[in-house]
Amino acid sequence: MSKSWYPIIDYDRCCECGKCVNKCRQGVYDKSKMPKPVVIHPEGCIQGCHGCGNLCPNKAISYAGDNVNNMRRRRMF
């Protein structure tokens, strides 16, 4: 588990499909808020995991601690 790696949701891009919430088995998201992805347990995220972000149809998930992909994302917008 990681304290320096966790998902960050861009709610302007999020379509609230719930795929990320359903994917995560680490309890990172608040399932009671579903389908809206609300991060309540960021330290539960596994370092380097992109499981929820890979499922996001709108690419609304980036990760704290993912300097390489966050730099690429900034160049795209």
pLDDT digits (tens, 9 = 90+) for 49-73: 999 999 999 999 999 998 766 544 5
Q: Where are the alpha helices (DSSP H) in 1-77?
A: 19-23, 51-55, 67-76
Instruction: Tell me what pLDDT residue 68 has.
Output: 61
Supply the Cα-derived Rg of the chain in whole angstroms: 12
Kindly report, residue by residue over 8-51, the tens digit of the pLDDT: 999 999 999 999 999 999 999 999 999 999 999 999 999 999 99
CA–CA distance, 71 with 53 (Å, rounded to integer): 16
What is the value of pTM for the model shown? 0.81
